[in-house]
Amino acid sequence: MLVGGPASSLTDCPFSYFDGMISVAFLGLGAIGNPMARQIAQEKEQFTLAVWNRSGQKAADFAAKIGARHASTPADAASGAQFVVTCLPTSADVEALLDGPTGLESGLEDGAVLIDCTSGDPTTSKRIAVRLAKHGVGFLDAPVSGGVAGAEIGTLTVMVGGDADVLKRCMPVMEAFGEKIVHCGSVGSGHALKAVNQALLAVHIWSLGEGLAALARAGVDPAIALDVINASSGRSNSSQNLFPQRVLTRAFPRTFRLALLDKDVGIAARALRELKVPAPLIQLTAELMSMAHRELGDEADHVEAVKVIERMAGEVID
Ligand code: NDP
């Protein structure tokens, strides 16, 4: 049993009520943050939850419909919370949220842990971890994969960077929305791994789009092409799920913004440059994602990047 008293290290928990209800704050109720927070909210016997969102109405609606305390500021959300989860577009947004008299830093309590589920960047995360450690606050980068659909049913994969003992303390919170929770290494390693995964997603979408446009020009029905590819070595999540469900149907549902994939591949490209690993394919893919983002705008879904390929090729993949 964990007991009260000041934290002697970041792996100790100073909250005397740790063996009772676990107090959590969730900041960032976007496309994926909202269903993640809902997974926590529905475990009413285990967690008390405070929510905060930049546009306050989303947090007010969540509090009213799902059940949580609507916090007025980031500091208010963090006040009394053992675990604070952030899920914002970028690490820069998380870092900025710390600032000021109503910022997160002024509300986080000694012994609390900030679990950052943003798909962020390793460099900023390391800076945040050092800043929070001065207050006895732990930090984990914990980006997720599995999409909105996975968040809706609590089966996300969580890739975690940071102290293994701090992660152990955070497991009940992460298990509310995650099924596979993997310790990847020190702070920043979760973000690095997520960025590389996203670069692979972008490569798969773009290369499959080019291939299917060419096959359409050659007179091969894209549905037949996908059927064969999915029984062959070129298959991927893009060929098995994204293209059949979203491109061939022309449904293009908006679940994960292209702007965010552009950001992710940019993080991967920058990290690889900093590590001095030659990566011409990922650098080029980052440029292609930026181009598609500029052309289609901030609200387009990531799979809509295929529309740019179709425009360039003069072929529709349907
Ligand atoms: P959304 O764009 O849907 O939501 C972003 C959230 O962050 C909103 O709550 C928004 O508030 C808030 N926000 C934006 N800018 C700021 C800021 N400067 N300060 C404070 N709050 C801000 O993004 P998602 O929910 O899709 O993505 C969140 C993170 O999760 C991203 O890093 C993304 O890459 C990652 N991710 C997303 C997945 C998905 O399928 N959607 C899958 C896996 C990871 P407001 O409501 O006011 O706009």
Q: What is the structure's pLDDT at 13? A: 52
- Cα–Cα dist 247/254, whole Å: 12
CA angle 260, 263, 268 (to 5 degrees): 130
Asked if the model's pLDDT at residue 1 lies above 70, the reply is no
Asked if the model's pLDDT at residue 8 lies above 70, the reply is no
- Cα–Cα dist 194/149, whole Å: 18
Q: What is the structure's pLDDT at 45? A: 95
Task: Quick: pLDDT tens for 262-317.
Answer: 999 999 999 999 999 999 999 999 999 999 999 999 999 999 999 999 999 999 99
Closest CA to 109 of 127, 82, 133, 142: 82
Residue nearest to atom 42 of ligand 1 (CA): 147
Task: Quick: pLDDT tens for 40-76.
Answer: 999 999 999 999 999 999 999 999 999 999 999 999 9
Instruction: Kindly report the CATH class assigned to 2-186.
Output: alpha beta
Q: What is the structure's pLDDT at 6? A: 35
Determine the average pLDDT of the residues in 111-133.
98
Q: What is the structure's pLDDT at 16? A: 45
- Evaluate whether 157 touches 178 at the Cβ level (below 8 Å): yes
Task: Quick: pLDDT tens for 217-273.
Answer: 999 999 999 999 999 999 999 999 999 999 999 999 999 999 999 999 999 999 999
Q: What is the structure's pLDDT at 260? A: 98
The strand pair at 144-145 and 156-161 is best described as antiparallel
Look-up: residue for tokens 């179709």? 310
Residue 58 Cβ contacting ligand 1 at under 6 Å: yes
Closest CA to 150 of 173, 118, 177, 181: 177
Confidence bin at 36 (pLDDT 50/70/90): very high
Look-up: residue for tokens 């909202």? 34
CA of residue 28 to ligand 1 center, whole Å: 6
Confidence bin at 197 (pLDDT 50/70/90): very high
Domain spans of the chain, in order of start: 2-186, 192-313
Q: What is the structure's pLDDT at 19? A: 52
Confidence bin at 20 (pLDDT 50/70/90): confident
Provide the sign of the torsion angle of the four alpha carbons 275, 156, 104, 135, taken in this order: negative
29 CA closest ligand 1 atom index: 9
Pocket test for ligand 1, best of 36, 88, 241 (most atoms within 8 A of CB): 88
Look over the chain and give the mean of its residue pLDDT values, rounded to a whole number. Answer: 94
CA angle 39, 12, 99 (to 5 degrees): 65
CATH 1.10.1040.10 is held by the domain 192-313: yes
